[in-house]
Amino acid sequence: MSHQVSPPSTPNHLPTVVKKERELSWQVASNLFVSFKYAWAGISYSFKTQRNFRIHISVGALAIALSVFLHLQAIEIAIIGITSGLVLALELLNTAIESLVDLTVKQTYHDLAKIAKDCAAGAVLISALVAVLVAGILLLPPLVILITSNL
Ligand SMILES: Nc1ncnc2c1ncn2[C@@H]1O[C@H](COP(=O)(O)OP(=O)(O)OP(=O)(O)O)[C@@H](O)[C@H]1O
């Protein structure tokens, strides 16, 4: 007796699936300029509502300004910029996950909601600790030299 086997999915099926998934979106950005506008709206929302985001922007800007003031090498300034940017990007993702969790479970307690929010917050914390470590390693030695040479 022979069994009929359904054909494996081919790359031809992919565009249909992708198209259907995008159809679930309430609105799709029509062009690159509009995409930037929505991205800026997300950054602006986080800045207005998330105290931690404002703190991270301030600390990151301070670290970059200090590294320029202390005449660090370009590669060192770039490393401080990358680590600071990573913290901000993860803070935005944390805000996105918080919103999705709140949208899904509203004001009810759920263990999975707690895991999602706690892990997202943990990711921000790890990136912030790494940024502080990197900034400390690169900024402290020239800062100490500057301070001691002026005593
Ligand atoms: N629906 C929920 N179910 C279970 N636990 C929740 C839920 N909502 C929040 N929590 C718990 O409360 C904590 C704080 O929630 P909140 O929404 O303020 O997230 P947060 O990451 O601390 O926010 P922020 O990054 O702004 O400080 C979460 O980390 C989680 O442990």
- Atom 1 of ligand 1 has which residue's CA nearest to it? 109
The answer to whether residue 32 sits within a structural domain is no
Reported as half-sphere exposure (CB side, CA atoms, 13 A), residue 135 has a value of 23
CA of 44 to the centre of ligand 1 (A): 21
Q: Is residue 80 part of a domain?
A: yes
Range of the domain at 90: 45-149
Residues in the annotated binding site for substrate: 91
The CA-to-CA distance between both ends of the chain, in Å, stands at: 94
Q: Is residue 126 part of a domain?
A: yes
Higher pLDDT, 12 or 142: 142
75-91 in b/e form (b: 16+ CB < 10 A) is ebbebbeebbebbbebb
Minimum-distance ligand 1 atom for the alpha carbon of 111: 4
Classify residue 94 by burial, with Cβ atoms within 10 Å: 0-12, 13-18, 19+: buried
Domain assignment present for 61:
yes
Dump pLDDT digits (tens) for 54-80. 999 999 999 999 999 999 999 999 999
In this predicted model, what pLDDT tens digit does every residue of 86-143 receive, in sequence order? 999 999 999 999 999 999 999 999 999 999 999 999 999 999 999 999 999 999 999 9
Per-residue pLDDT band for 9 (boundaries 50, 70, 90) equals low
Q: Determine whether the shortest distance from the Cβ of 113 to ligand 1 is under 6 A.
A: yes
Question: Looking at the 3D structure of the chain, how many domains does it have?
Answer: 1
Q: Which domain CATH number covers 123? A: 1.10.287.3610
**So what's the ipTM on this one?**
0.94
Q: What is the pLDDT of residue 22?
A: 78
Collapsed DSSP state (helix, strand, coil) of residue 76: helix
Q: What is the mean pLDDT of the chain?
A: 90
Q: Which of 51, 107, 117 best tests ligand 1's pocket when mutated (most atoms within 8 Å of CB)?
A: 117
